[in-house]
């Protein structure tokens, strides 16, 4: 860029109203109001943009997030809603040298916590020597008694963790909380990075900003290194699609190439954990769990859990399974532990904490309780066991001052009777960082979540992080649920940084990737997703044909529309019911199936289906019958064919794709059998043949082939017997037969499987027939044989 002489600071207009609060440190400006050196370059670059350009760039980042399907769930009184991802486009910048100090402190703390876990589930020296109160451990619901005495197979309790840190008024970093149970946010940090890098693409490429991919590659390789068998997958154990971080689980599974599993995908046999797959049980020896430990095994842990796998604990006990982090590690998140960490560090490591945690007083001890009583006005009070952030409203924390005034004498009573359940913590004054609001930068409080992964060479820290930014000046407004936002964090070096990718180093030999095994539940969901999507499309075509005729002056009580209306009703597409309800149900089923296999198809495919499902309601609401409805259905049909086009065009020809395709083919063939039996009946009213040809999307082909008006034989020929028409039953039966032959176990020692035999027999049975030999009874017979084929497929692969 050409250097132009500058008399004034170019960033001045941008920072005109940027006024850090007195007594609060600010990331951007130093105590004298000067831009800190690490920000200078970026701020100058940002200041050169006009408002129009800023808006366009931000929109680019938001578009990326929408396309990637990143959203967050807002919980209100009437359930939850999906909201746009609240990215603060301006990242937080930290210099390499300062980052190094943070890393040293966090690595020390990670090692310390691993040692505490080893002691709490082993010798219990910390309790015996008085460094941790026995009663505090004893009352923690996360200290899992069945895990006592079990040493992890890997030798370590912690492999992946996160710390919440914040900067205090003196510029010092503090640890606000330890996250070891199932730390979330690493995937979101990655998405924030991609979005932010798009916003500032020209700057990001050449600035010395540390890249994130290397961290994920190390972690992936470390977990793979823990496997007892190199051909077995690493699993990510998720609570499922109803969890608010499920998106991240699916995202990270795709990014790392791990298998996304739910408790019911697993079973335990002789102490070994097995995945139920379409080819039978396959062992798994490493699970990165994203579910809380208590839910992992209903037999030995929380007996009410419906998310777990009975016998999982026994497998760990027998040394066949590594769970990351170890079951029971969640006890380390106990907030009252923060009060004891400085002493524990001295006791276990003979050195002070390099990075202090916020001062905490556990009210289960008399002197501490009295201290909190006397100083409550300057503290936050919260649950001793809760693991939420001190300023997070969901954690039930209240400012001591408010508690004091509102509760009055009750405050003393609560302290005296419930002391062990309470901690007092010093009130956190977080540093502020620039948020972009209404075209200006304003200071907002910020905390950082930093991620650490254990590798064979020790802990590696993700050189970036997940920054949370308050929605107002109040540090309490930091939670997303209360209007906070999130931001990327850049570690800026003075020197060029290495370019990192997820690809293995060039030195390693080329290995063609093995197709991952397909869990039974995933195959089942893909199959049904295929069926539901096809069912929705078929219903739309039938409804469009009906409304087209209604628009063409047919009276709703005409014999054709009555005949067709009954058929539609039988097929679940009753034209007299609100179309949004009729299609909403089947699309919702498709989405339910799809959302459980999100890791298995492309973001574009997901977006297309999600768009279809969410728009169907709006598009069809309050649309008049006849022509307006035809137009609305046209819009939706274009969308649904957009999705199926993506599947046909882009989806890898894996076994997963075959189950999806079999679902579509089977559904289409069954629907066509019903429709022909109904509309190509000798007694059907005039216009029925045209109706079914149109609903079967074959009007053009029919005209080209026959050049005569439709007769029963021409219609049955093109919709049932024509091997070249993708709308015909024969074509779909051929597809099913071919797919089934590619499924595992279709052939064994020269013999066909029962399923392959049934598929071939159905296909051959139709192939040798001509239209005149195919009446309604035959068609309905074929339909029930197709239903039996579906049952056989389910019995063979899907349970």
Residue 134 CB, nearest approach to another protein (Å): 5
Q: Which is nearer to another protein, 61 or 328 (CB)?
A: 328
Q: Which helix H or strand E contains 425, and what residues bound it?
A: strand 422-426
Phi-psi region of 280 (alpha: psi -120 to 50; beta: other; left: phi over 0): left
Residue 772 CB, nearest approach to another protein (Å): 46
**Rounded distance between C-alpha atoms, residue 756 and residue 793, angstroms:** 10
Three-state DSSP class for residue 388: coil
Residue 2 burial class via C-beta count within 10 angstroms: exposed 0-12, middle 13-18, buried 19 and up: exposed
244 touches another protein by CB under 8 A:
no
**Rounded distance between C-alpha atoms, residue 684 and residue 75, angstroms:** 53
Among 37, 138, 396, 408, binds another protein (CB under 8 A): 138
Residue 297 CB, nearest approach to another protein (Å): 9
242 touches another protein by CB under 8 A:
no
239 touches another protein by CB under 8 A:
no
Among 24, 54, 68, 137, binds another protein (CB under 8 A): 137
Total residues binding another protein (CB under 8 A): 28
122 touches another protein by CB under 8 A:
no
**Rounded distance between C-alpha atoms, residue 12 and residue 214, angstroms:** 37
Among 135, 375, 501, 747, binds another protein (CB under 8 A): 135
Closest Cα to residue 462, out of 220, 255, 215?
215
Residue 327 CB, nearest approach to another protein (Å): 14
Residue 296 CB, nearest approach to another protein (Å): 13
Chain-centre distance of CA 635, in angstroms?
Answer: 29
334 touches another protein by CB under 8 A:
no
Mask of contacts with another protein, 291-320, x by CB under 8 A?
Answer: -------xxx-xxx-----xx--x--x---
Residue 789 CB, nearest approach to another protein (Å): 23
Q: Is the peptide bond before 325 cis (omega within 30 degrees of 0)?
A: yes
Cβ atoms 181, 387 nearer than 8 A: yes
Among 21, 128, 570, 724, binds another protein (CB under 8 A): 128
Closest Cα to residue 453, out of 287, 166, 214?
214
791 touches another protein by CB under 8 A:
no
87 touches another protein by CB under 8 A:
no
347 touches another protein by CB under 8 A:
no
370 touches another protein by CB under 8 A:
no
Q: Which is nearer to another protein, 296 or 689 (CB)?
A: 296
What are φ and ψ of residue 373, in 5° steps? -60, -40
Q: Which is nearer to another protein, 301 or 662 (CB)?
A: 301
124 touches another protein by CB under 8 A:
yes
Residue 341 CB, nearest approach to another protein (Å): 19
Contacts with another protein in 140-169 (CB under 8 A)? 145-146, 148
What would you report as the CA-atom Rg of the chain, rounded to the nearest whole angstrom? 31
127 touches another protein by CB under 8 A:
yes
Q: Which is nearer to another protein, 552 or 791 (CB)?
A: 791
**Rounded distance between C-alpha atoms, residue 643 and residue 518, angstroms:** 22
Q: Which helix H or strand E contains 646, and what residues bound it?
A: helix 627-650
Cβ atoms 689, 678 nearer than 8 A: no
Q: Which is nearer to another protein, 749 or 799 (CB)?
A: 799
Q: 87: which DSSP letter?
A: B
641 touches another protein by CB under 8 A:
no
Mask of contacts with another protein, 675-714, x by CB under 8 A?
Answer: ----------------------------------------
280 touches another protein by CB under 8 A:
no
Cβ atoms 89, 304 nearer than 8 A: no
Closest Cα to residue 259, out of 220, 226, 222?
220
**Rounded distance between C-alpha atoms, residue 525 and residue 505, angstroms:** 36
Q: Which is nearer to another protein, 267 or 589 (CB)?
A: 267
Closest Cα to residue 427, out of 462, 385, 387, 474?
474
Residue 317 CB, nearest approach to another protein (Å): 8
Q: Which is nearer to another protein, 416 or 474 (CB)?
A: 416
Evaluated on CA atoms 505, 508, 514, 517, the torsion sign reads negative
| Residues near another protein (CB under 8 A) | 124, 127-130, 134-135, 137-139, 145-146, 148, 264, 267-270, 298-300, 302-304, 310-311, 314, 317
């Amino acid at each position: 860029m050409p250097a132009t002489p500058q008399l004034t600071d170019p960033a001045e207009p941008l920072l005109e109203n940027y006024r850090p609060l007195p007594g609060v440190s600010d990331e951007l400006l130093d105590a004298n109001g000067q831009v800190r050196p690490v920000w200078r370059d970026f701020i100058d670059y940002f200041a050169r943009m006009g408002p129009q350009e800023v808006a366009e760039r931000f929109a680019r980042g938001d578009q990326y997030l929408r396309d990637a399907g990143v959203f967050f769930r807002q919980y209100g009184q009437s359930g939850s809603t999906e909201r746009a991802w609240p990215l603060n486009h301006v990242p937080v910048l930290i210099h390499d040298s300062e980052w190094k100090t943070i890393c040293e402190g966090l690595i020390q703390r990670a090692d310390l916590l691993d040692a505490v876990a080893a002691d709490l589930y082993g010798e219990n020296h910390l309790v015996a020597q008085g460094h941790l109160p026995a009663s505090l451990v004893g009352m923690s619901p996360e200290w899992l008694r069945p895990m006592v005495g079990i040493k992890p197979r890997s030798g370590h309790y912690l492999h992946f963790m996160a710390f919440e840190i914040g900067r205090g008024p003196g510029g010092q970093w503090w640890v606000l909380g330890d996250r070891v149970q199932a730390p979330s946010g690493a995937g979101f940090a990655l998405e924030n990075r991609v979005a932010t890098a798009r916003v500032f693409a020209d700057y990001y490429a050449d600035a010395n900003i540390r890249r994130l991919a290397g961290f994920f590659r190390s972690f992936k390789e470390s977990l793979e290194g823990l496997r007892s068998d190199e051909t077995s997958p690493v699993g990510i154990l998720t609570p499922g699609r109803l969890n608010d971080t499920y998106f991240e689980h699916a995202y990270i599974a795709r990014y790392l190439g791990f298998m996304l599993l739910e408790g019911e995908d697993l079973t335990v046999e002789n102490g070994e954990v097995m995945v139920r797959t379409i080819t039978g049980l396959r062992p798994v020896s490493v699970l990165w769990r994203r579910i809380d430990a208590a839910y992992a095994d209903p037999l030995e842990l929380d007996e009410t859990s419906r998310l777990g796998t009975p016998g999982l604990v026994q497998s760990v006990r027998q040394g066949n399974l590594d769970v990351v982090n170890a079951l029971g590690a969640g006890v380390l998140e106990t907030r009252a532990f923060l009060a004891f960490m400085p002493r524990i560090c001295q006791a276990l490591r003979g050195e002070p904490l390099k990075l202090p945690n916020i001062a905490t007083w556990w009210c289960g001890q008399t002197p501490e309780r009295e201290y909190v009583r006397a100083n409550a006005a300057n503290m936050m009070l919260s649950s001793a066991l809760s693991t939420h952030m001190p300023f997070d409203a969901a954690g039930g924390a209240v400012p001591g001052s408010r508690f004091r005034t509102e509760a009055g004498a009750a405050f003393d009573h609560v302290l005296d009777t419930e002391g062990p359940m309470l901690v007092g913590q010093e009130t956190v004054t977080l540093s502020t960082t620039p948020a972009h609001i209404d075209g200006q930068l304003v200071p907002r409080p910020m905390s950082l979540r930093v991620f650490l992964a254990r590798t064979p060479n020790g802990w590696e820290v993700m050189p970036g992080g997940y920054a949370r930014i308050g929605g107002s000046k109040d540090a309490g407004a930091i939670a997303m649920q209360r209007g906070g936002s999130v931001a990327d964090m850049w570690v800026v070096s003075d020197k060029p940084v290495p370019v990192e990718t997820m690809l293995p180093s060039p030195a390693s030999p080329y290995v063609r990737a093995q197709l991952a095994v397909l869990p039974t539940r995933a195959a089942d969901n893909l199959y049904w997703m295929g069926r539901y999507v096809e069912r929705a499309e078929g219903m739309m075509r039938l409804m469009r044909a009906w409304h087209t005729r209604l628009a063409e002056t047919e009276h709703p009580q005409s014999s054709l529309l009555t005949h067709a209306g009954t058929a539609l009703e039988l097929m679940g597409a009753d034209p007299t019911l609100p179309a949004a309800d009729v299609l909403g149900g089947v699309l919702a089923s498709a989405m339910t199936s799809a959302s459980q296999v999100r890791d298995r198809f492309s973001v574009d495919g997901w977006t297309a289906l999600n768009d279809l499902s969410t728009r169907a309601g709006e598009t069809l609401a309050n649309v008049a019958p006849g022509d307006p409805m035809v137009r609305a259905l046209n819009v939706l049909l274009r969308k649904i064919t957009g999705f199926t086009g993506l599947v046909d065009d882009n989806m890898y020809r894996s076994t997963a794709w075959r189950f999806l395709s079999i679902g579509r083919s089977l559904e289409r063939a069954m629907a066509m059998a019903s429709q022909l039996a109904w509309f190509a009946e000798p007694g059907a009213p005039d216009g029925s043949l045209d109706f079914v040809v149109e609903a079967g999307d074959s009007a053009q082909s029919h005209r080209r082939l026959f050049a005569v008006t439709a007769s029963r034989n021409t219609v049955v020929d093109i919709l049932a017997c024509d091997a070249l028409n993708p709308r015909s039953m024969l074509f779909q039966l051929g597809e099913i037969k071919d797919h089934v032959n590619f499924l595992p176990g279709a052939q064994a020692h020269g013999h066909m499987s029962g399923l392959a035999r049934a598929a071939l027999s159905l296909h051959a049975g139709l192939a040798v027939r001509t239209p005149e030999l195919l009446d309604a009874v035959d068609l309905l017979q074929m339909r029930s044989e197709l239903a039996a084929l579906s049952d056989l497929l389910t019995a063979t692969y899907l349970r």
